[in-house]
Structure 1
């Protein structure tokens, strides 16, 4: 969808991340009402819907029969991430429905058969997606995802005093699998969101166990202690309690979207938000925790989105600006081998350089899909332009072959554009300040009026001047 007039580009998009209550469910296309949390977070921010829209369009084009693949095989977890991200973009309701229609019949492949194999984190994530897609998580392809998740959530013992170990793990999620137990803190946060929105009697215990995974500094760790450890709480400085930026960001998002406004949750969110903001670099980017330990768009996007939901708009916008720099838009005269993948977001800047002449290599496509899926969320807080897009020639007339200055107004911060005149072009990016950009273009031969153009992914403006040989 191309928005050729500036008001549409800068208007806050009609958004849709579901934080629906446990009320009626419709099978209509999943272009839901925006989640109250995201709507509130964006209400006072002037944002540009373009970068998240073009990223979402690219992801939608990467689906194969409604699913994303990794190594040629359906990747249900990544597909759900994509569906939840696309639900925040105005014109992607149909894609969310298509994802749901492909995922629902195969849900057992993701969550297990419910007898020998039952995966807690997958059940929680699937239940969360079902709600976002306007489906009923208590009857999803005939499976009650909530009941299954409750079965995988440790019960509160009748007498905590006589059963201290059972009390210590109350509310913790566990996989049932012959392959081992891989349940972790991120899965726990999805479980809290799913159980809370379903008004499950186990939601409180699951939430309390999740809050024990927050360390004194405010971060959440990524993994649980062994099930027989007497303490199940995050302990700073102890092996297994290392800080995890991605886990902290996803816990924040899931707690906000759970709608739990209890004092314990409000306090935990405030501490987590302060810690996350302290990890943001001057560039706006975030570095993933060990073992990845790299600055990248995935971590920056989930952290920026979480901070946006917490109404830290400055931090969210800074993160979005950095992500947008990694979204090459090489179109028109500035086209490259990446033009056919306009909207895709690179994991790191070096991936853009590597793919400009070759295109995205087949072996790297999975990485671009993962980066772009999360980027859709982080880009929700990209700042809008100050002005209508326009281009002005500094001179009314000039000789062919001369280098003439053109001024461009109305580029959003970090927005890519192509400035061009017949025979010459230059790539430009919007300044952080949103101020005008001045570049020179060489004028072609021929006694006639020539047009100078500036083109973005979804908009263009033009000016003209007389050229003499």
Structure 2
């Protein structure tokens, strides 16, 4: 969908700034920071900063001169997704600013030239990113993104009774392009956010039209009805009104971030949250919609982020744990071909298995980037460990060849780690309960003190045991 210093393992941790990669342009630091809605939601939960931090570090390193590049061409949509994801992680202001510096002079390539081409969803999404980068959408490389978005938003007719069809589509966004109109509910939700935050007089109509796209079930559909259809509202069970979890989650996120607290919006958020909770599986995963629908980290992460902003903490936690399971951490003796890509999140579990021997192939890298951009959001609500991170030996000494037990404490739910001693190792994963993990390791030969070490993505702990031949 386009649609490491040792630290305290909590949301309050100070995070290191990742380098953008070779050739990135210097930029003045922005003052972007996580939104008030995110800060409020996270203040009510005990979260682990590690998975979002390492995902952000990997994602930032995938930028080429401040842009995401797909098939040799700049991918402006994915670049903006990346910038908005990084804006939710402390310590990435300069990275977001660098993206903005490179994106700004080329923005017409994404939003259109404003005459024969003008893309409403792109305008709205860009305006949202621009604010995250602490810039003004009213003058972005000479473009008033809000004014252009207003041009692409259908007006409310002066006499609704005389113009019923105009009234039916009031507030709806439209693209202007020789290629056709591709505006949809996701773009509409960004438009509501951008217009509301800007104080646009068209914000109310855009919001009302978005709320029409919510079905009685609580879900939002993805696509609008045809513009000449007098029935512009979602209707459960009718073709074209299929529930879409991604569209629902993004509608929730953008409505919350719009700051609109009207009763209609509050009611819509409650219904959408209930639907997302019902859609979520026991594992925490959320299944996508449409042809080839399947559980995946994109739908789960963006859905989990929406649930987190709604302060539905248990559901947000479950989603984050499932996403974290798809963030492989292979280090030291547990090394695989994915070791160099620590922090990346796979779209589905099978992608991890495929890549442990081959690494992330060039043709698959785009999918990992898109999955990780969404995962950064959902992982904001990953639960923290309930204990101090450490490893303890059950015995003080052992003979070479024996397999004494070691206990690992303080791994967060679904956190991947490697426990090892010279000659033997084991991959481990944090339990949902957060309880200790017990593993046996075979002692090497040699009369000396040996160290058993447990490595996570960003820290390690060790204990010693005396080995005798």
TM-score range, shorter chain: over 0.9
RMSD: 1.1
- The offset of 1:119, in angstroms, is 0.4
Name the structure 2 match of 1:208: 208
Check whether the contact 2:323–2:378 (CA below 8 A) recurs between aligned residues: yes
1:347 aligns with 2:347: yes
Name the CA distance, whole Å, in 2 between partners of 1:11 and 1:142: 38
The 3 A distance-change label for structure 1 pair 13 and 109 is: farther
Partner secondary structure for residue 10 of structure 1? coil
Name the structure 2 match of 1:126: 126
Name the structure 1 match of 2:332: 332
Check whether the contact 1:385–1:413 (CA below 8 A) recurs between aligned residues: yes
Name the structure 2 match of 1:198: 198
Name the structure 2 match of 1:153: 153
Name the structure 1 match of 2:223: 223
Please list, as runs of the form range in 1=range in 2, the aligned pairs for 1:372-383 lying within 5 A after superposition: 372-383=372-383
Note the alpha carbon deviations across 1:398-443, whole angstroms, 9 max, x for none.
1001111100000111111110111111110000000000000000
**Structure 2: runs of 5+ lacking an equivalent:** 16-26
1:305 aligns with 2:305: yes
Name the structure 2 match of 1:250: 250
Note the alpha carbon deviations across 1:309-358, whole angstroms, 9 max, x for none.
00001000000000000000001111110000000000001100100011
Name the CA distance, whole Å, in 1 between partners of 2:263 and 2:255: 12
- The offset of 1:31, in angstroms, is 4.3
Name the structure 2 match of 1:395: 395
Partner secondary structure for residue 438 of structure 1? strand
Name the structure 1 match of 2:57: 57
The 3 A distance-change label for structure 1 pair 59 and 396 is: same
Check whether the contact 2:34–2:89 (CA below 8 A) recurs between aligned residues: no
Name the structure 2 match of 1:21: none
Partner secondary structure for residue 398 of structure 1? strand
Name the CA distance, whole Å, in 2 between partners of 1:13 and 1:268: 34
- The offset of 1:30, in angstroms, is 2.8
Note the alpha carbon deviations across 1:371-415, whole angstroms, 9 max, x for none.
000000000000001111110111111100111110000011111
Name the structure 2 match of 1:169: 169
Check whether the contact 2:33–2:87 (CA below 8 A) recurs between aligned residues: no
Partner secondary structure for residue 370 of structure 2? helix
Name the CA distance, whole Å, in 1 between partners of 2:361 and 2:65: 22
Partner secondary structure for residue 289 of structure 1? coil
1:93 aligns with 2:93: yes
Name the CA distance, whole Å, in 1 between partners of 2:155 and 2:432: 51
Note the alpha carbon deviations across 1:430-461, whole angstroms, 9 max, x for none.
00000000000000000011111111111111
The 3 A distance-change label for structure 1 pair 358 and 211 is: same
* Alignment: residue pair count: 455
Name the structure 2 match of 1:367: 367
Partner secondary structure for residue 98 of structure 2? helix
Partner secondary structure for residue 333 of structure 2? helix
Partner secondary structure for residue 33 of structure 2? coil
**Structure 1: runs of 5+ lacking an equivalent:** 16-26
Check whether the contact 1:285–1:297 (CA below 8 A) recurs between aligned residues: yes
Name the structure 1 match of 2:112: 112
Note the alpha carbon deviations across 1:8-49, whole angstroms, 9 max, x for none.
22243579xxxxxxxxxxx95234232111011000211000
Partner secondary structure for residue 358 of structure 2? coil
Name the CA distance, whole Å, in 1 between partners of 2:10 and 2:364: 32
Check whether the contact 2:28–2:94 (CA below 8 A) recurs between aligned residues: no
Name the CA distance, whole Å, in 2 between partners of 1:316 and 1:297: 13
Check whether the contact 1:277–1:315 (CA below 8 A) recurs between aligned residues: yes
Name the CA distance, whole Å, in 1 between partners of 2:118 and 2:93: 30
Name the CA distance, whole Å, in 2 between partners of 1:174 and 1:400: 73
User: What TM-score comes out, normalization by structure 2 length?
Assistant: 0.96
Check whether the contact 1:31–1:87 (CA below 8 A) recurs between aligned residues: no
Check whether the contact 1:12–1:42 (CA below 8 A) recurs between aligned residues: no
Equivalent residue for 1:3, pick from 5, 16, 20: 5
Please list, as runs of the form range in 1=range in 2, the aligned pairs for 1:63-102 lying within 5 A after superposition: 63-102=63-102
- The offset of 1:173, in angstroms, is 0.3
Note the alpha carbon deviations across 1:92-137, whole angstroms, 9 max, x for none.
1111111111111100000000001000000000001000100000
Name the CA distance, whole Å, in 2 between partners of 1:318 and 1:259: 26
Name the structure 2 match of 1:37: 37
Name the CA distance, whole Å, in 1 between partners of 2:145 and 2:153: 12
Name the structure 1 match of 2:21: none
1:446 aligns with 2:446: yes
Name the structure 2 match of 1:412: 412
Check whether the contact 1:68–1:79 (CA below 8 A) recurs between aligned residues: yes
Name the structure 1 match of 2:293: 293
- The offset of 1:72, in angstroms, is 1.9
